Amino acid sequence: MKPNWKSLLTWAGVGSFIGFTIAVSLYSLNGENERAVYLIYAGLVAGILLSLKYRLELKASASAFPLGFLATSLLAALWMVTDVSSTGIYAFIAVVMAAVIIIGPENYMDMFIAPLSYFGGFAVAMLTFRGYEPLQGEAGAVMSLFMVGVMGAILVFFALFARWAFEMAKSIPRR
Question: What pLDDT score does 37 carry?
Answer: 85
Kindly report, residue by residue over 78-126, the tens digit of the pLDDT: 888 888 888 988 998 999 999 999 998 888 899 999 999 999 999 999 8
pLDDT of residue 168: 85
Q: What is the pLDDT of residue 136?
A: 64
pLDDT for position 95: 92
DSSP 6-71: HHHHHHHHHHHHHHHHHHHHH--TTSTTGGGGGHHHHHHHHHHHHHHHS----HHHHHHHHHHHHH
Q: Indicate left, alpha or beta for 136 from its phi (over 0: left) and psi (-120 to 50: alpha).
A: alpha
| Res 11: pLDDT | 93
Q: What is the pLDDT of residue 139?
A: 67
What whole-number distance in Å separates Cα of residue 115 and Cα of residue 60? 9
The pLDDT > 70 percentage for the chain reads: 91
Between the alpha carbon of residue 133 and those of residues 48, 59, 97, 138, the distances in Å are 31, 36, 30, 9
Calculate helix-pair angle for 141-170, 86-103, nearest 10 degrees: 30
Q: Are 9 and 65 in contact (CB under 8 A)?
A: yes
Residues of the chain with pLDDT under 70: 1-3, 28-31, 132-139, 175
pLDDT attached to residue 160: 92
Cα angle 166, 89, 82 (rounded to 5 degrees) comes to 155
Q: Are 120 and 68 in contact (CB under 8 A)?
A: yes
Return the pLDDT at 16: 95
**pTM of the entire structure?**
0.89
Residues 6+ apart with CB under 8 A from 23: 36, 37, 38, 39, 40
| Average pLDDT of the chain to the nearest whole number | 87
Residue 88 has a pLDDT of: 87
Report how far apart, in Å, the C-alpha atoms of 33 and of each of 36, 110, 160 are: 5, 33, 36
Q: Is 171 helix (H, G, I), strand (E, B) or coil?
A: coil
pLDDT score, position 76: 87
Q: Note the pLDDT of residue 134.
A: 65
